[in-house]
Amino acid sequence: MMAVVDDLPQAVAAALRPSEYTAALIQVLRHRADWVRGADALEIGAGSGVVLAVLSALGSASVCGIEIEPVAIAAAADLLCDLDGPAMAELHQGDMWQPIGRRRFGLIAANLPHFPMPAQRFGERLPSWSSGGIDGRNLLDRFLLGLDTHLAPGGRAVITHNAFIDLPRSREIVAEFGLSLRVAMTVMVHIPSAKLELMTPAVLRAEEGRTIHRYGPYAFAEMHIVEIGDRAAFA
């Protein structure tokens, strides 16, 4: 495992702060603990490392995290060491699936940036932690297309998926590989007005009143946690 950083700068700690998305993902993983137990687990976009810590606590045989930001790699290493993480723990800095070649995993988790906005900083978050491109699918589609190579037979993926970025399209992509996608949980998440102003206008027009709801000055959006696997895995 990579070297740890003892004192995380305040700005970095704020940027890595777990979101409502992370909390919902953790809730579903805890509910599906039997899927995690004994599995070689992978997280794409490991961020602070808290989801890796959860996977370890739930009894995964090993955990592997991939993250593009060096500061996040250091923070995740620090967290796993502080929590006496599993002996079989790996962290890799890199882009999506690239660091792991063609390795397969029994459980794959991801909370990827998939908000439909250009790549730019929002608040304390770095662009790589906020932006999913004009339609929000830049990273999501690459993730889904990689599952055929990296999900072990009978394995499952559990990911966050905003309702306003075409869930049927995601279902079509994984179906091409004989996989099924189902919604495990839907929650409402608050979208700050400053972030809503950055949303691709066409997406906002199409989704307002459908998956995006305004109440006075406040806006909320539907966000899914989805599970992906073969039909036998969901039996």
Tens of pLDDT, residue by residue over 16-72, are 788 899 999 999 999 999 999 999 999 999 988 999 999 999 999 999 999 998 888
Domain assignment present for residue 101? The answer is yes
Given a contact cutoff of 8 angstroms between Cβ atoms, the answer to whether 90 and 1 are in contact is yes
Domain count across the chain: 1
Say how far apart CA 111 and CA 134 lie, in whole Å: 18
Beta-bridged to residue 224, according to DSSP, are 161, 186
Query: Angle formed by the axes of helices 70-82 and 50-57, to 10°?
Result: 30
Tally: H helices and E strands in the chain: 9, 8
Domain assignment present for residue 196? The answer is no
For the segment 175-223, what is each residue's pLDDT rounded down to a tens digit? 999 999 999 999 999 999 989 999 999 999 999 999 999 999 999 999 9
Domain assignment present for residue 202? The answer is no
Say whether 217 sits in a helix, a strand or coil. Answer: coil
Q: Does 132 or 126 have the greater pLDDT score?
A: 132
Domain that holds residue 34: 10-188+222-234
CATH number at residue 44: 3.40.50.150
Domain assignment present for residue 217? The answer is no
Domain assignment present for residue 201? The answer is no
Domain assignment present for residue 214? The answer is no
- On the question of pLDDT at 152 being above 50, the answer is yes
Say how far apart CA 234 and CA 97 lie, in whole Å: 25
Domain assignment present for residue 226? The answer is yes
The predicted structure's pLDDT at residue 2 = 37
Domain assignment present for residue 216? The answer is no
Query: What average pLDDT does the segment 67-78 reach?
Result: 89
